[in-house]
Amino acid sequence: MRVPKGVNKELAFEVALFAAGASEIALCHRKPILLTVLLAVTAIIAMAFWRKSHVVCFYLVGAVVGPCGEMICIRSGAWAYANPTFLTIPLWLPLAWGLVTVLIKGIVDTSAKFRTAS
């Protein structure tokens, strides 16, 4: 199987973005302002890498829909956050949902390039 040029770099970048976001959350969840800033910087880096307007749309949809679903679950008593700072959720949560949404899209698109290469 011949992998198209740059696909391995794309996948490595996406894995690195996931690792960065997960590490930021794991290490800074008790500092919501710092975590919000770190996730915003990570999102800006992701947007600069992909440079496509539809990625911004995916990010925004994820940043709105994900937290709305969580707020519904929180209101129903399914779970609660230890440090809610904004409408029953942490301030950084919409940024995390946006990042995860674009990462899922990016990984799916990259894996499709592997499939078409074989």
- Residue 9, number of CB atoms within 10 A of its CB: 11
- Are 7 and 117 in contact by the 8 Å Cβ rule? The answer is yes
Tokens representing 59?
Answer: 């990010």
- Are 34 and 28 in contact by the 8 Å Cβ rule? The answer is yes
Walk along the chain (118 residues) and give the pLDDT tens digit of each residue: 566 778 888 999 999 999 999 999 999 999 999 999 999 999 999 999 888 889 999 999 999 999 999 999 999 999 999 889 989 999 999 999 999 999 999 999 998 887 776 6
CA distances 51 to 44, 54, 102, 112, Å, are 10, 9, 12, 19
d(CA 88, CA 86): 6
Domain ranges of the chain: 7-117
- Are 7 and 112 in contact by the 8 Å Cβ rule? The answer is no
pTM of structure: 0.91
Spatial CA neighbour of 24 closest among 10, 52, 45: 45
- Residue 22, number of CB atoms within 10 A of its CB: 13
